[in-house]
Structure 1
Amino acid sequence: MFGSIDAVLFDLDGTLIDSAPDLGGAADDMRVARAMPCLPIERYRPMCGAGARGMLAVAFGMAPEHPDYPAMREEFFQRYEQRMTLNTQVFDGVTDMIDALEQRGLAWGIVTNKSQRFTGPLLASVDELAGAATAISGDTTPHAKPHPAPLLEACRRMAVDPARCVYVGDDERDIVAGLAAGMGTVAAAWGYLGSATAIEAWGAHAIAKSPVELLKLLDNA
């Protein structure tokens, strides 16, 4: 399906880690501070891939065009910064998947739209992700996903041909970015899937329902 590959790149939130409890928790902390009732985490989960924009939309119905949005976004960032490692953990099967990739001699890295302000401290706290060959944040290059620039920068740093790389993500923009970079693409169906478009319509080369299924896809490449 993918031909010979040298590396696998992953989105972070919703693909490697379940950060919904802390992303949603930060937004819910904002509601509580305003004497508003808590919302269940499942209300936040589908929109976690959209970061502050998604969380403020769920918590307050607030769009980026709202005049209070910049201040609310910064408050969200500060609250998230205070708790971002509280309940975040890798998804089931991710540790075994990473071990298997390393045993196969495949390099792996991370390309996220999360800003370095959060990516650095978060990755430093998650031991299971310490082996990443590179970690590209949303502000590492002038463009974030769905632009291919962050993926191409990851390949440059890893000295890997993009055509011999697979990108795995749980959002439509991940697949758009991977295809634009000339990579093989896998939609991570275990993630947040925040797009209004059905995962089958994203145009990914393959869909994996779990990290174990992803390994099987790569083995059959």
Structure 2
Amino acid sequence: MGISRVPGSRRRAQAPSVGPLGRASGRYRRPMSTTPALDRPDAVIFDLDGTLVDTVERRIEAWLQAFQEAGIPATREAVSPLIGADGKALARRIAKEAGRSLDEEAVEATDRRSGEIYQALNVDPRPLPGARELAQALDRARIPWAIGTSSRREQVRASVDALRLAREPTIVDGSHVEHAKPEPDLLVMAASQLSVDPRQTWYVGDSTFDMQAAVAAGMYPIGVTTGSADVDALRGAGAAEVIGSLLELGRRIRRLAAPSANRA
């Protein structure tokens, strides 16, 4: 079963410069002001790990094993808050905290090894409550949606299959952009693939990096506490609202899909 993806040109969205795992900063393509609440979005973009599928613990375990193999001391407490960010930046951050400096080859090798371990662990991912139903509700409401994930392309398949979707989703993964979250590149490219204005789009994610990327892209950031970040962390990273699960969002979308809510 194939996935609807961005064409192989690896087109890159413009983005501001950002330090490793720092907030997106600098001037973006359009002025970024406080994003207003949207009663009905033109589109919804989702993170994958920890948002649609319950894979965060496996991500953490994969990183811990990869760092152990590389001889880099790492703890669950250090790795957990960084899940959802660009993998290379995560590798640099943990190495730096351990007093190690990694060259680009070592960074790439550590990131890739973490992905290989994750793929071996992620054999039976479980959809998070409400994920599949939310996708169905969006389709019924005729609201386009996509997945924007920092994961490498080869790491996405098992999790998407676990959702058992009625149709193939549009996915922008980490292989399509030079800079993953917290840069907004993934999100802006996903909006472009859906032919929607980022400012009229919801972005739903479970990590602080998701929220930072959404703010930088001018989207309406919705945090969900099904990953490793709590309410305060998500709010502090820019979440306009925080929900406990996708079940809450599904109820909202179903109301939009009701006959009385349909727009001509």
TM-score (ref. length: structure 2)? 0.64
Q: Write the mapping of 1:113-192 to structure 2, written as runs, cut at 5 A.
A: 113-119=150-156, 121-123=157-159, 125-129=161-165, 131=167, 133-192=169-228
Q: Write the mapping of 1:1-221 to structure 2, written as runs, cut at 5 A.
A: 1-27=37-63, 47-50=82-85, 65=101, 70=107, 71-81=109-119, 83-119=120-156, 121-123=157-159, 125-129=161-165, 131=167, 133-193=169-229, 198-217=233-252, 219=255
Unmatched 5+ residue regions in structure 1?
none
Secondary structure (helix, strand or coil) at the match of 1:207 reads strand
Provide the aligned length of Structure 1 versus Structure 2: 212
- Measure, in 2, the Cα distance between the counterparts of 1:42 and 1:96: 33
Q: Deviations over 1:116-156 (max 9, x none)?
A: 2322x335532434635410111212221222221111111
CA contact (8 A) 1:52 1:77 kept: no
- Measure, in 1, the Cα distance between the counterparts of 2:83 and 2:243: 20
- Measure, in 1, the Cα distance between the counterparts of 2:88 and 2:179: 18
- Measure, in 1, the Cα distance between the counterparts of 2:99 and 2:137: 41
Give the root-mean-square deviation of aligned CA atoms. 3.6
- Measure, in 1, the Cα distance between the counterparts of 2:152 and 2:213: 17
CA contact (8 A) 1:57 1:63 kept: no
User: Residue 222 of structure 2 aligns to which amino acid in structure 1?
Assistant: V
- Measure, in 2, the Cα distance between the counterparts of 1:73 and 1:87: 22
Q: Deviations over 1:147-179 (max 9, x none)?
A: 222111111111122222110011122122212
Secondary structure (helix, strand or coil) at the match of 2:84 reads helix
CA contact (8 A) 1:165 1:184 kept: yes
TM-score (ref. length: structure 1)? 0.75
CA contact (8 A) 2:84 2:210 kept: no
User: Residue 105 of structure 1 aligns to which amino acid in structure 2?
Assistant: R
Q: Deviations over 1:15-43 (max 9, x none)?
A: 11111353344356669989xxxx9x999
Determine what percentage of the aligned residue pairs are the same residue: 27
